[in-house]
Structure 1
Amino acid sequence: MIWSLAVAVVMLAGKSLAAWYTGSAAIFSDALESVIHLVATGFSGFSLWYASTPPDQGHPYGHGKIAYFASAFEGVLIGAAAIVIAWVAIGDLVRGPSLQQLDAGLLIIAVLTLCNAALGFYLVRTGRTYNSLVLISNGQHVLTDMWTSLGVLVGVGLVRLTGVLWLDPVAALLVAANILWTAGRLLRRSLGGLMDRADTNTTRRVLRVLNEAKSDDTIANYHQVRHRRTDDQLWIEYHLLFPGQMSVREAHARSHEVEAALHEAFANDEVRVTAHLEPRQHNQAHPPDHVEPHDPLYDLSR
């Protein structure tokens, strides 16, 4: 994130200089997106630090949820930048653009685009390695900036080759559309995390481990499966059903084996398991008026 912040400062300075040189709406749109990226990167850096702080009495599940808030914040800023870019581009289309020194501007943007490409791929790869939504979101923002700059290079390059000035604001409008699409993707991912949307791949892996642990003389069945994720922290909950004659000590040992299998299945994550042990005669273990909540992941009656 320190590298990302440093590069964001360089990007803003370089693109602002190129926009001042050329008077290009497309390059100005690229520079404006870099302003948003600098602010978002600073907030992402803070979020990454805050998410890594240990749980406390007020936040027993830790502070990792701020990663989704940071991603949403970045998406909102990107969307705002896209609206401003579109407004400026439409104004240039109406008034007619005035361009100058395009060669110098194109050279600056080309160099900065290569820097962004290298940084963006590095951030996304590192984020996926550590299951860090903050790094992944920031890396995708950097790559969006790279594609934005590449679009600007094509648009302004066409203006340089053809002399058709209205291509410049058109390129800016295309940039705005691309940024809006990225903003929407970030917001969808953030809302899914904040609402604890279950990942289907995680569900499939959890159920596979539980199914492999089932046995007539040990773990008879399971139900009430839940899981939630925040970056590399994965919380898993379930109820295990054991033969009624089995001792608590033995049932606990069997439950620990299942927990160990889950840790192995999610070796790249910090897994925290909560298991509830019950007798196989499940209905007899509860009062007559007890009603089990609906289980969306596994229905025991199936």
Structure 2
Amino acid sequence: MSAADRARLTTRAALASVAVALLLLGLKVWAALATGSVAMLGSLADTALDVIASLVTLFGVRVAAQPADREHRFGHGKAEALAALVQVGIISVSALGIAWRAIQRLIAGAETANAEDGIIVSVIALVATGFLIAYQRMVIRRTGSVAIRTDNVHYQSDVLLNLSVIAALVLDQYVGLTGADPVFGVGIALWLLWGAWRASLHAVDQLMDKEWPDDKRMRFLAVASARPEAKGIHDLRTRSSGAHDFAQFHIWIDPTMTVREAHDIVDAIEADLAREFPGVEVIIHVDPEGQVDNPGNPLLETDETREPIPE
């Protein structure tokens, strides 16, 4: 997928998120006023912050789509991770506010009203959110966007949130279980906090330049070392920035080769990697066979601890 296609898809997904959030915000304002439900109030607060989070996502994916420039030579991909962390903060604040309001109503013993209005709005929210989640998942599969992934996690929690609102209203008004509404409100808050924690992990990994998963590293090594001229590979370093992957490593070459011959081998290895890992930016440093750079540095593996070459 080209950078332009990726930018178009992520922008459309972010705009769809903003549109759904605005629609649900209007509906839930009316439902919260009509029912007095703390669960619905919590759902309203979450949707209001959804609008802000979706706008942050839109901003993040647009910035991340910008090409590399003089000040950002590795591109702007980490803007997506930053946008994701902003969303996590918004979700966490929303959850704490919901929990506080629910505890207050539980102590006061407040009751709800007009359950039908709240249930209808929650069903509409479920349908709209379901369509949005399905669309976002398609975009995530095609682009790998961390910002859209975080937004998707949040909307997945919204499904449970709306189901909880329906259950709370039914139990409170039709079954007669007083206190069910605020109890569900606390449960919703805890679920949102758990979702925020899970969503933050991937964003933090990107910002901290975490290595690729082991299986991906091993596949990369297998391709990089496939040519017989590659006598050994060490100091493989990998990272991701948005949807962009980066890899660099040292390779041992026969020291009797000319510069031109070594250059041609590196070009061939880069072509092999480009076919198997399209879009990955690769930097290869050539060492004469047996050369160990700075052996005191544990990141620059010695002859005994260098990266294994898969069979």
TM-score, normalization: structure 2?
Answer: 0.89
The equivalences for 1:193-204 within 5 A come to 193-200=206-213, 201-204=215-218
Q: Distance in 2 between matches of 1:54 and 1:17?
A: 43
Equivalent residue, structure 2, for 1:293:
297
Equivalent residue, structure 2, for 1:282:
291
Equivalent residue, structure 1, for 2:105:
92
Aligned counterpart for 2:25 among listed residues 2, 8, 12: 12
Q: Any idea what SS the aligned residue of 1:212 has?
A: coil
The equivalences for 1:1-302 within 5 A come to 1-200=14-213, 201-213=215-227, 215=228, 218-267=229-278, 270-283=279-292, 290-291=294-295, 293-295=297-299, 300-302=303-305
Q: Any idea what SS the aligned residue of 1:282 has?
A: coil
Let me know the Cα RMSD of the aligned residues: 1.7
Deviations 1:257-298 (A, max 9, x none): 22122222223xx21111111211415xx7xxx5463237x6
Which residue type is aligned with residue 97 of structure 2? V
Q: Distance in 2 between matches of 1:29 and 1:281?
A: 63
| Contact preservation (8 Å) 2:112, 2:173 | no
Which residue type is aligned with residue 256 of structure 1? D
Which residue type is aligned with residue 30 of structure 1? S
Q: Any idea what SS the aligned residue of 2:100 has?
A: helix
Q: Any idea what SS the aligned residue of 1:118 has?
A: helix
Which residue type is aligned with residue 99 of structure 1? T
Q: Percent identity?
A: 26
Which residue type is aligned with residue 194 of structure 2? W
Which residue type is aligned with residue 261 of structure 2? E
| Contact preservation (8 Å) 2:169, 2:181 | yes
> In the superposition, relative to structure 1, how do residues 79 and 299 fare at CA in structure 2: closer, same or farther (>3 Å)?
farther
* Shift, 1:110, TM fit: 0.7
Deviations 1:223-273 (A, max 9, x none): 111111112211110111111122222222221222122222223xx2111
Q: Distance in 2 between matches of 1:148 and 1:197?
A: 32
> In the superposition, relative to structure 1, how do residues 83 and 6 fare at CA in structure 2: closer, same or farther (>3 Å)?
same
Q: Distance in 2 between matches of 1:232 and 1:300?
A: 33
Query: In terms of mean alpha carbon deviation, does 242-251 or 75-84 score higher?
Result: 242-251
- Paired residue total: 291
Deviations 1:10-67 (A, max 9, x none): 0111112111110000011011011111101001101100111111111111111111
* Shift, 1:98, TM fit: 2.4
Deviations 1:55-90 (A, max 9, x none): 111111111111111111101110111100000000
| Contact preservation (8 Å) 1:223, 1:295 | no
* Shift, 1:212, TM fit: 2.5
Q: Which runs of 5+ in 1 are unaligned?
A: none
> In the superposition, relative to structure 1, how do residues 188 and 281 fare at CA in structure 2: closer, same or farther (>3 Å)?
closer
* Shift, 1:299, TM fit: 5.3
TM-score, normalization: structure 1?
Answer: 0.91
| Contact preservation (8 Å) 1:122, 1:139 | no
